């Protein structure tokens, strides 16, 4: 029978929110245990250079930033466990969780920082080119392509926002949408349609991104959804703006989620269950930045510390 590990504070997720929560919880002598999740380091572990995280004047590679955060959290006493939580029982305290390695954990307070995964097109080249001209975040990576030609894929408000933002930086934006009309709000559509730097390719889908052999994006192949006609465009980057999937399925039926699956919180980072807190991209579908995730991780740790203190005094 597997031994159960008990933690005063258990943290799920090893992105900016998770590690920041761990740093604060550990410094508060809460002896946190952090379970890494399926992607140690979160989304930043799959990026290259990060230039917009405060404190790094010349930028820093995403995996290196995550490694530094982990070492900082562990220096103060955080215990790191590698694995993915597959079962969670939040009906009674202590809360009970099980990982894919059949390791069992209980905790007095739980911080959920499981993040979100960007939706991808499912093309073979995506994983090879992610962070090398293929991006899911214009705010993060747009500055690398000043004066260049780029593609944005999508038809919702996110795609409109990304296109408008990038149009201020790049030479030309080609907005590729698989239908003949956008799903975005009318005002966002109007702004895009009036922008001379944005060229719209209706009824098109990206079927191939070039060129993994060169280690960077050099172009993309578009296919018409109505007649199958193919065309190749020479571009320096492809930005995917087709949405994110929050990693919250485990908590469906136990915690409140919005229609898109994001965890709902109140009074900071509190969920509807006392003692359960949430932070980062599993909550935030608006900003989705490393620094905002870190800020929420700090909030969650402080909320957990205060909640635990109140329980001990009761």
State pLDDT tens for residues 99-134.
Answer: 998 899 999 999 999 999 888 999 989 989 998 999
Domain count across the chain = 2
pLDDT at 2: 63
State pLDDT tens for residues 81-94.
Answer: 999 999 999 999 99
- Distance (Å, rounded) from C-alpha 53 to C-alpha 162? 19
By annotation, the residues acting in catalysis are 137, 140-141
Pick the closest to residue 205 from 233, 185, 186 (CA basis): 233
Residues 220, 233 contacting (CB under 8 angstroms): yes
Q: Which two tokens stand for residue 234?
A: 């020479």
Same-domain status, 142 and 227: yes
Please determine, for residue 47, whether its predicted confidence score (pLDDT) is greater than 80. Answer: no
The CATH number of the domain holding residue 227 is: 3.50.50.60
Give the Cβ contact number of residue 2 at 10 Å: 10
H or E element, residue 23? helix 16-27
- Distance (Å, rounded) from C-alpha 182 to C-alpha 192? 11
Half-sphere exposure at residue 15, Cβ-oriented, CA atoms within 13 angstroms: 32
Residues 201, 154 contacting (CB under 8 angstroms): no
- Distance (Å, rounded) from C-alpha 166 to C-alpha 69? 30
Residues 155, 281 contacting (CB under 8 angstroms): no
State pLDDT tens for residues 158-185.
Answer: 899 899 999 999 999 999 999 999 998 8
Same-domain status, 280 and 295: yes
Question: Of the residues 197, 218, 240, which one is the last residue of a structural domain?
Answer: 240
Parent domain of 202:
126-240
- Distance (Å, rounded) from C-alpha 77 to C-alpha 32? 8
Beta partners for 130? Answer: 134
For the whole model, what pTM was predicted?
A: 0.81
Same-domain status, 151 and 198: yes
Question: Of the residues 240, 266, 299, which one is the last residue of a structural domain?
Answer: 240
């Amino acid at each position: 029978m597997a031994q159960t590990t008990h933690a005063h504070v258990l943290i799920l997720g090893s992105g900016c929110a998770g590690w920041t929560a761990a740093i604060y919880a550990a410094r508060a002598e809460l002896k946190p245990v952090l379970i890494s999740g399926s992607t140690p380091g979160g989304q930043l572990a799959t990026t290259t250079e990060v230039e917009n995280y405060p404190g790094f004047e010349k930028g820093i590679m995403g995996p290196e930033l995550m490694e530094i955060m982990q070492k900082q959290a562990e220096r103060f006493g955080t215990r790191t466990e590698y694995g993915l939580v597959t079962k969670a029982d939040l009906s009674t305290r202590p809360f009970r969780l099980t990982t894919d390695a059949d390791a069992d954990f209980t905790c007095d307070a739980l911080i959920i920082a499981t993040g979100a995964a960007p939706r991808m097109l499912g093309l073979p080249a995506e994983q090879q080119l992610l962070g090398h001209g293929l991006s899911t975040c214009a705010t993060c990576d747009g500055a690398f392509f000043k004066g260049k030609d780029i593609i944005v894929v999508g038809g919702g408000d996110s795609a409109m926002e990304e296109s408008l933002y990038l149009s201020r930086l790049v030479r030309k934006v080609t907005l590729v949408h698989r239908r003949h009309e956008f799903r975005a709000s009318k005002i966002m559509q109007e702004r895009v349609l009036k922008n001379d730097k944005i060229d719209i390719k209706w009824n098109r889908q990206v079927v191939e991104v070039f060129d993994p052999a060169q280690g960077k994006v050099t172009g993309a192949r578009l296919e018409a959804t109505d007649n199958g006609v193919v065309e190749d465009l020479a571009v320096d980057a492809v930005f995917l703006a087709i949405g994110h999937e929050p990693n919250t399925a485990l908590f469906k039926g136990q915690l409140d989620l919005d229609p898109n699956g994001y965890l709902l919180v109140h009074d900071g980072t509190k969920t509807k269950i006392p003692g359960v807190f949430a932070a980062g991209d599993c909550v935030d579908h608006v900003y989705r930045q490393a620094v905002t995730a870190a800020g929420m991780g700090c909030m969650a740790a402080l909320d957990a510390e205060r909640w635990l203190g109140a329980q001990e005094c009761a």
